[in-house]
Chains A and B, each alone.
Chain A
Amino acid sequence: MATNADDTGPKSENGFDMGDPELNRHPQPGYRMLRDSGPVVRVAGVIPSRASADAHLVGRHADVVTVLRNPDVFSSRFDAVHIGQVRPLIPLQIDPPDHAKYRKLLDPLFAPRRIALLEDRTRALVSDLVEAVADDSGCNFHAAVSEPLPSTVFLELLGLPVSRAAEFIALKDGIIRPSAPTPEERSSMVDDAGARIYAVLQEVLDERLETRQEDFISDFLDAEVDGERLTPEEVIDICYLFFLAGLDTVTASLDCMMARLALHPAERRRLADDPSVIPHAVEEMLRWETPVTAVVRVTTQDTELSGCPIAADEVVSVMLGSANTDERAWDEAASVDIDRRVNKHLAFGGGVHRCLGSHLARMELRVVLEEWHSRIPEYRVPEGVELDYSPSLRQIADLPLVW
């Protein structure tokens, strides 16, 4: 049965309560309540921009997998999320069959083989960032490492000027966390930031149309899918998405992981003593923390999930964090085991839209944990500090660590 959530208070666009700092800090018990209330939980009126303003939260692992693997019924089309775009973002908001043609072009660029070539450069960047604070007695990890690293890696990769990193970060923050009092003002802030991102990309694209460089934008211009070149608009729609998908997600994951380790000395020591644990620890922390908590779909027809009806054209919030901690699907779902060997978490989504950047992200996360712990193995969150996590994309803007 679909259950109606009748609690009041601010909700995020995916319908999960965002007013409660404790829920953002420890969402796992909330996920459990969600799963126990039913396979589909309807939250009324959270998406005012739509004719049908309700969100349908899906929290059990089996149902989450069903949604992710059936894109014909649960579509990712244009209106599923509003992030300042004027055309569908590629490939996020493209459904099969067209989706595959873009992934065919993009997958090789982000495959583990290609990403391995970036590891040395990434390590050098991380090492500089860690070195810059190592002789101090503390830092805000978010500002010192989690924010600058992914932006630099990513801007270099794409071919955008790293000297303008601060400006780009401000633009994507304008979209992901617009700070204005009313929904209308927030929505117009998002559109403004979106327009400026389109303008910056157009500028760089025009330069590359003149002269190619060693970067993705140039690669995209020369790439062919099924014998056809991408149009400049398509190149821009790909890059626009990268902006939003490639920066915040890695930042949030790094924040969540370092906070976790700072607050759990036994896990931190195990990992500092034996760096070969790091890849497994990364997967386990991705599972437990699920920094990207949910993805969104729109139903293309009347359907049902585990017996719960969902009408056509309804928004479905696919609660990845809940699926990743569902005791129906996991052994010891509620305990964090950084040595966990069987771990098919969905922190990068699943099905055709599986995160394109997952191999890049995994490399960045591993390299940061390796470099940080080899230089600063002992650190903690200062006494009495309560960390605040942002909702949906779980960043910790103020993450003080001392050593």
Chain B
Amino acid sequence: MRLDRERCQGHGRCYVLASGVFESDDDGRGMVIAETVPLVYQESARLGSDNCPEDAITVIDD
């Protein structure tokens, strides 16, 4: 999973809705906790990505 820090504008939707996968930095921008998302969190990761108004989060399946 990737979070594009250039696109992120700190709406905070990702880390509020999926706190197991994303966290906030001091400015309120999103960060991914781990690039490879554990299976139990995959749905959360997608929820965060689907709710990002800046389309900054990409979930890549392998």
**Which of these, A108, A113, A354, A359, contacts B9 with CB under 8 Å?**
A354
Query: Are A110 and B28 touching (Cβ within 8 A)?
Result: yes
**Count: A-B pairs, CB below 8 Å:** 55
Q: Are B52 and A344 in contact (CB under 8 A)?
A: yes
Residues of B15-30 whose CB lies within 8 A of A: 15-17, 24-29
Q: A residues within 8 A CB of B53? A: 344-346, 350, 354
CB of A351 within 8 A of chain B? yes
A214 to B17, CA, bound (A): 32
Known pairs A107-B28, A110-B28, A345-B53; A358 contacts B47 (CB<8 A): no
Which of B13, B17, B27 is close to A108, meaning CB atoms less than 8 Å apart? Answer: B27
B11 near A348 with CB under 8 A, answer yes
Q: Which B residues lie within 8 Å of A341 (CB)?
A: 17, 47, 51
> Given A107-B10, A354-B9, does the pair A359, B51 have CB atoms closer than 8 Å?
no
Interface size on B, residues (CB 8 A): 20
Interface positions of B from 41 to 56, Cβ below 8 Å from A: 47, 50-54
Q: Determine the chain A residues whose CB is within 8 A of the CB of B17 once the complex forms.
A: 341
Binary B-proximity of A76-114 (CB < 8 A = 1, otherwise 0) = 000000000000000000000000000010011011110
Residue numbers in B under 8 Å from A359 (CB-CB): 12, 28
| Contact of A113 with B47 in the complex, beta carbons under 8 Å | no
On chain A, the residues within 8 Å of B51 by CB distance are 341-344
Q: How far is the CB of B47 from chain A (nearest CB, A)?
A: 7
- The docked-state distance in angstroms from the alpha carbon of A104 to that of B28 is 11
Q: In the complex, A110 Cα to B10 Cα: how many Å?
A: 10
The answer to whether B26 touches A344, judged by C-beta atoms less than 8 angstroms apart, is: no
The answer, yes or no, to whether A352 is at the interface (CB within 8 Å) is yes
**B29 contact set on A, CB distance < 8 A:** 107
Residues in A332-384 with C-beta less than 8 Å from chain B: 341-346, 348, 350-352, 354, 358-359
- Assuming the A-B contacts A111-B28, A113-B26, are A344 and B12 also in contact, with contact meaning beta carbons closer than 8 angstroms in the complex? no
In the complex, A346→B54 CA distance in Å? 10
A112 and B9 contact, CB distance less than 8 A: no
Contacts A344-B50, A345-B53 hold; do A112 and B28 have CB atoms under 8 A apart? Answer: yes
Residue of A nearest to B17 (CB): A341
A342 touching B12 by the CB < 8 A rule? no
Which A174-204 residues sit within 8 Å CB-CB of chain B? none
Closest B residue, CB atoms, query A348: B11
Is there an interface contact between B24 and A112, defined as CB atoms closer than 8 Å? yes
Determine whether the beta carbon of A358 is less than 8 Å from that of B27: no
Set A104, A351, A352: member contacting B27, Cβ < 8 A: A104
- The answer on a CB contact under 8 Å between A111 and B24 is yes
Q: Which residue of A lies closest to B9 (CB)?
A: A354
Within the assembled complex, what's the spacing in Å between the Cα atoms of A279 and B13?
A: 11
B residues less than 8 Å from A110 (CB atoms): 28
Tell me how far the C-beta of A385 lies from the nearest C-beta in chain B, rounded to whole angstroms.
Answer: 35
Q: Are A358's CB and B11's CB within 8 A?
A: yes
| A358 to B53 Cα, complex, angstroms | 13
- CA–CA, A341 and B49, complex, Å: 12
Least Cβ–Cβ distance between B26 and chain A, in angstroms: 5
> Contact check: which of A111, A346, A348, A350 meets B26 at CB < 8 Å?
A111
Q: A108 and B26 in contact (CB under 8 A), knowing A348-B11, A350-B9, A358-B12? A: yes
Cβ A354 vs Cβ B10 within 8 A: yes
Given contacts A113-B26, A345-B53, A348-B11, 13 further A-B contacts (CB under 8 A): A107-B10, A111-B10, A111-B24, A111-B28, A112-B12, A112-B16, A342-B47, A344-B50, A350-B11, A354-B11, A358-B11, A359-B12, A359-B28
User: Which 8 A-B residue pairs are closest in the complex by CB-CB distance?
Assistant: A111-B28, A107-B27, A354-B9, A344-B53, A342-B50, A108-B26, A350-B53, A344-B51
Q: What are 6 sample pairs from A and B whose C-beta atoms fall under 8 A apart? A: A108-B28, A112-B28, A341-B47, A344-B51, A348-B11, A350-B54
